[in-house]
Amino acid sequence: MDKKVIVITGASSGIGAAIAKLLAEQGNQVVLGARREDRLQQLSNEINQVGESTYAVTDVSDLASTKALAQTALDEFGRIDVWINAAGLMPQSPFSEGRVKDWNTMIDVNIKGVLNGIESSLSTMREQKTGQYINIASVAAHNTHANGGVYSATKAAVWMISEALRQEEAAAKSGVRVTVVSPGAINTELVSKVTDKNVQEGMEAFYKAFAISPDRVAKVIAQSINMPADTGINEIVLRPTNQIG
Ligand code: NDP
C-alpha cells in the first residue's frame, strides 16, 4: 500500500481513535484533531512507538481552528491524502424539553464541522489531483425515531453533503473520492455525553445489549482507503448483526 497522510477529526476517542491506530499501523502518517489535548498527546505518543503521527488541538465548529489542523498536516507531512470527519456528538432528547443548546451544538459540530473540514482541505486535494473524504454519518441518517430528530437531521445532512461532493468531484475529474460511513451502535464515549438522563439510560441499556467495537468501523474505513485510486467505495452501512433499526 502507498503511505498516505490522513487527517482525522474526533481522534481523541472512540471511532476516530480506533481509525488512527489502525491506519498508523498500516504505515500511514496520521494527523489527529480534537479538543482534549491530553488524549491527543497520549494517543500520538502511543502511535509514534510504531508509526508516525502528529496532532493539533482542534474545534471543528470553528473554521480557523480546522484550517490550522490542515496546516499542521501540510507543515509536518507535506500533503493531505485523506480527511476523515469523525468528530460528532449525539445529545438526543424530545423537542418538548427545548434543549436548544444541544440542538445548536449538534448542528455546529456534526454539520458545520464536516463543512469546515471540506473547506480546509479540498483546494489541497484538487491541487494534488488526488484525495479522499470519509464522513461519518450514522444509521440515524437513514431512519429516525422519537428523541432523535435533530441528530438524524444532522446525519442526513452529512449524507447529502457527501453525495453532492462526490458528484462534483467526479464531474471535475479531480481524483477526489468520497465515502460516507453509517454505523449502528458502536461502543464509544458517545452515549456518556447525552445530557438528558432518561434518554441516556435507555441508550445505555441498548448499547450494552448490542454495541460492537469501534475496530469494526476502522476496518471498513481502511478498506475504502486501500482500494485502487480508480475505485470509490461511496457508502458503507454497518451495524451489530442483531441491531434491528
Ligand atoms: P466519541 O464520543 O467517543 O468521540 C467523539 C469525538 O468527537 C471525540 O474525539 C471528541 O473529542 C470529538 N469532538 C466532539 N466535539 C468536537 C469539536 N467541537 N471539535 C473537535 N472534535 C470534537 O464518539 P464516537 O467515536 O462514537 O463518535 C464518532 C462519530 O461517529 C460521531 O460523528 C458520531 O456521531 C458517529 N457515530 C457513532 C455511533 C456510535 O454508536 N458510537 C454510531 C453512528 C455514528 P473532544 O471531546 O476531545 O473534542
Which of 186, 239, 243 has most ligand 1 atoms within 8 Å of CB, for mutation?
186
In a domain? residue 221: yes
- Residue 245 in any domain: the answer is no
Distance 87 CA to ligand 1 centre (A): 4
Going from the C-alpha of 87 to that of each of 81, 95, 205, the distances in angstroms are 18, 24, 24
- The CB of 69 under 6 Å from ligand 1? The reply is no
Question: Is the separation of the CB atoms in 113 and 62 below 8 Å?
Answer: no
Cβ–ligand 1 distance for 43 under 6 Å, the answer: no
Grid coordinates in use for 16? 476516530
Smallest CA separation from ligand 1 atom 31, residue: 88
Q: Residue 100 class from Cβ within 10 Å (0-12 exposed, 13-18 middle, 19+ buried)? A: exposed
Radius of gyration (Cα) for the chain, nearest Å?
A: 17
**CATH number (domain holding residue 198):** 3.40.50.720
Q: Rounded distance, CA 157 to CA 162, Å?
A: 8
Domain membership of residue 243 (yes or no) is no
Q: Is 151 a catalytic residue?
A: yes
Atom of ligand 1 nearest to the CA of 193: 2
Return per-residue pLDDT of the chain as tens, 245 residues.
Answer: 589 999 999 999 999 999 999 999 999 999 999 999 999 999 999 999 999 999 999 999 999 999 999 999 999 999 999 999 999 999 999 999 999 999 999 999 999 999 999 999 999 999 999 999 999 999 999 999 999 999 999 999 999 999 999 999 999 999 999 999 999 999 999 999 999 999 999 999 999 999 999 999 999 999 999 999 999 999 999 999 999 98
Whether residue 188 has its Cβ less than 6 Å from ligand 1: yes
Domain count of the fold of the chain: 1
CA angle 67, 231, 19 (to 5 degrees): 50
Q: Which residue owns the Cα nearest ligand 1 atom 17?
A: 59
* Best CA proximity match to 221, nearest among 177, 158, 189: 177
Beta carbon of 104 within 6 Å of any ligand 1 atom: no
Residue-number span of the structural domain to which 161 is assigned? 5-238
